[in-house]
Structure formats: structure tokens, C-alpha cells
Amino acid sequence: MEFMWLSRNPMKRVVLTVALIILGGTGRVDGVSESIIGSRETCDSEGEDFTVDKIPNTRCFNCICKNGFVECLKQQCPSIEGCYTLLELRNDECCHRCKGCVRNGVHHPSGTEWTEVNDPCRILTCKAGVITESKLRCYTPCSNPIPAAPGHCCPICLGCYVNGQKVTAERTVTTTEDPCVTCRCNMGRLTCAKQACPVLHCPASRIVHDSGECCPHCTGSGRFFSPPKGACMLGTTLYDSGTQFYVDECTRCSCTNSAISCTKETCPVLECNSEHQSTLPGRCCPQCPLVEQSRASCTYGGRTYGDGESWKLDPCKACACMQGKVRCAMPMCPPLNTPCPPNSRLQHPEGQCCPRCVESDGVCTVFGDPHYRTFDGKFFSFKGPCKYQLASDCVGHTFSIRVTNDARSTKASAWTKTIALKVGELKVNLGQKMRVKVNGKKVEIPYRVPHRLDINRTVDSVLVSTQIGIKILWDGISFLEVSAPTSYRGRLCGLCGNFNSLPKDDFTTRRGRLLQDSQRFGQSWAVGGKKRCARTRLPNVDVSGRRCRGRKDHRAPCSISADEQARGIASTSQC
């Protein structure tokens, strides 16, 4: 039987500058071109979604207006890793889907599991079109369990410890003797159970069983040519509808109208380590060797432990002595490739077993003439030639950062010229060519105020670090980066936004008004009055609010009087 594989292409991202180029994501999408080349696309709705009418299949791309040009990113599809029964794409679809299952008229997506209403111990799993039905095997690591709660299968142990390993509410724990035993804690009540692995549909050559893992899994992805009507395919074998067959000593399957259903025996939890277990020919489950009598104490690592005594080997493993046997347990960590939520990163805290997602510091970037990326990731351009509040603690007033822009003898552009940071009684001024002043006096780098401020030079920039966690990176020309710790989330204001993880409300003015126009928003944060402006006219400003007429360049400036500018009246040009 022939089959074909889907390609796996890394995501590529480009900005529409010379040509419009759009490249693909996690897997190739049939019917959607990997690259689309056309004319340059400009835009003036900074930060908003954008539709490019001339691109076919635009539903498969997300486009935004960024720095005056359209940037498009191909829609990211769910992972199809391990699926070999991919469905054909419909005309309105961008992403491949793995075949699901139907049971009693209810559709279940691939990768889901459910229980029968009248039997909570019966587990059903859908994996790429194959239903696996099995019974839970309960495991009770305590001597006096209480009956199972209504609607649940297994007895309950009071106290969330397994072989000395604490079980937390957010993470499951497995035993080292049997990695298929999982224990969960809910409000101080522990339940443990063993579940059979789902039947895999991929070819045997694509099945991998990693050391220490309970179940094998399929690697790669692909799609077989459709089998004859009503028939089923499992691995590389074709079965007629109505056929019953055995996959192994534990698994019996049937094919009915192109759907495979399997019943799999769940083996009991054994008291001996896996290296001492053996399976007799023709039997499904392994067994432990017969022993004469258990000892009350245990010896491990040259030490003797009494019955019921537990000890930790490392942050990931704990053991206990139970009737002369050493039993160990360890938490199940999420896969290292598990994505973290936005604005967070995967970190491995010292002394803890598993890595976890922690919130990242907020970063606001200013560059060019000038362009801004707020703490929450919103991009916009604002070419104001005055002095502006870039970022400030508007709740606790612990710091403020102001920038002065220089028009540099141009009529429509500006660049960041100087930065002023105020933290308590300290004021740091960063100027061109990486000149630094502290409280009005020029200082040499490195410079330090113990427990309050550190100023150092990197390869091509100046780095200012404060005790409160605010950092500034300045290249001495026009590039500026401000970092704020998560303790300032929702407390900031200025051109860099409010750092609340919501880009849509970053254009909030000093008076709390939410605007859509970047120019009016930028001018609302002007400080110092008219004397702080490098020129009396502002770019891209239309005081009347009417659209300019007869202009071909939408970025050309509109007129504004000096007294109107002094009052801070501005709006975006629609030339």
C-alpha cells in the first residue's frame, strides 16, 4: 500500500518592503502558495488588521499594518505530529486536521478521551480515527483508603504523598516501577490509576517508545491513500468491514464501515521493579517472581530505612520503604516543547524538578524615525519633534522616563536625541555618543550608586540598571530599549503603553481616553510645552479633522498653526 508524507517547513516571517512575500508555518497547506509575490503594499492604519484583496486564500494569512507597510504571517496550524490519517482539506480550510472518531453518534476529535456515563472506570480514547476502550486499574498507596467519590472510579487516600513524593494540584506524579500509574491530588485527596495505552495507527517503523515513558507514540505525519469503501487500515494492513482481529495479546479490534474500535486489557500494578518482571508466552500481562517473605526494613544506598520511612533523592525523585520493598515516585513534567502563554518564558527554578512558565519582563523599543513597540507588543510610528513621556509608574510614581526628539532639519521625520530617567532623587541623562550625566554632572562609565543604580557599557550601547528593576539600553544614536519587571504590570503609562498584556488599549492618553490615531495619542504625552519642540510644525497632523485633498503621498504633512500645536491639537493626516 502506498502512502505519502507531508512536508514540515519552519515558519518564516517577512515584512512587505520591496515585494509582498508570504511563507508558511508548521506544515505545508495544500492549495495555498508557499510564497506570493506582488507589488509593494503600504497602509496607514498602524497596528490594525489589514486585508490584501489581491492575494488569493487570504483567510490563511493574518496581516497587520506595521510601520506603514503590510506584514503578513501565515496562520499557525495545530500540530499534526504523529498523525497518519489526515483529512483532505476543504475549500474553506487552511490547516490539516487529524481524523477523529464517532461513538454513539457523537464526534470526538483526535487526542481526546471520555468515560461512559454509567461506568466511570471505562475509558475511551480517540487517536487518529481509532477508538481504544479499556478499564482503569486503581492503585492505592495508602493502607486505609476511603471509597471513590460518586462518578469517579478509584478509592481515595487522604494526604497527597506517593512514596514520599508530594503531589501538587497542578501536576501529576508517576511511580518509577510503573510509569503508567498516575496520581493526582485534589483538595488534599489523592487518587491513583493505571490506564492502557491507545492503539496506534501508524506503520510499525514510525512507532517510538522513549525510555521512562508509559506509552509509545508515532513520529512524523502523513496521509495514506483512501482504502476501499467501508474498509479500514491500521499500520500498513488493510481490513474489510466486519473483520475482527488481534493487534497483540492484549488488544482485540474490529473494523466497521471504515471505523476501527479496539478493546485493550489494562495490566495490574505490580510491586516489583520492571527489571524483575516477566511475561509468559501467550499472556498479556507481566508478573513478579515469587518471594518467600518481605522484610520489614529496606536498604538503599548503604542506608537502612524502617517500614513506612521515606526520603528524597533529588528534587525529582522520592522513595519510601513499604513492607521491605523500596518504592519510588517522581512528578511528570510537561514536555520541553510545550509553548508558554504570551509574555512568558520557560524557566527551570533552582531546587525544583520541573521547568515552568514564568512571566517575562516587559520590553518597549524605540528605533528609527521613530517607531515604537509598546510593552504589550503594539507597533506604531510617531514623528513628533518635541519632548514626551515614554514610560512612567502612574500608580506608585517610582520612576519616569522622558525622551526628547530631534527633527534634524527635516520636515517630516524625527529621531530620539536624549533620554531622561528619574528614579527617586536620582536623575540620569543619556545623550548622543553615549554621553551620560547623573544629577547634572557628567560621569564616566562604569558608574555605580550602591544599592540604587548601575551604569555599564556593552559592546555598542549603554545599559542603565536600577534597584527597582527598570533597565534602559541606549546605543547613543537613536535606538532605545526599556525593560520593566512584571511587578509593574498594569501600572505604567506613556508612549510605551500600560503593560497589561492588551495591545488594543495601548493608545490611552494622559486623561484616560482611548484613541485609534497614533499621532493624536503621541501628542497627548508631550511635556515641557512649545519650547521643547525642535520645529513648530508637526508631521501627519490635520487640525480640522477633514481629509486632505489632492495629495498622492499619504505620509506628507498637513499644516498646523503654532498656537494650535502649543495646545496639543493634532490628528492623523488622511492624505
Q: Please give the pLDDT value at position 40.
A: 62
* Least confident window among 3-12, 341-350, 520-529, 551-560: 3-12
Can you read off the three cell numbers belonging to residue 280? 509468559
Can you read off the three cell numbers belonging to residue 74? 501565515
Q: Please give the pLDDT value at position 196.
A: 93
For 413-472, the pLDDT digits (tens) are 788 899 999 999 999 999 999 999 999 999 999 999 998 999 999 888 999 999 999 999
The DSSP element (H or E) to which 509 belongs, if any, is none
In this prediction, residues 349-356 reach a mean pLDDT of 79
The closest of 84, 92, 100 to 29, measured between CA atoms, is 92
CB proximity list for 113: less than 8 A, separation 6 or greater: 123, 124, 125, 126
Q: Please give the pLDDT value at position 465.
A: 95
Q: Distance between CA atoms of 540 and 542, rounded to whole angstroms?
A: 7
- C-beta neighbour count of 91 within 10 angstroms: 6
Place of cell 464501515: 257
Can you read off the three cell numbers belonging to residue 405? 526628539
Q: Please give the pLDDT value at position 37.
A: 54
pTM across the whole model:
0.50
For 482-496, the pLDDT digits (tens) are 999 999 999 999 999
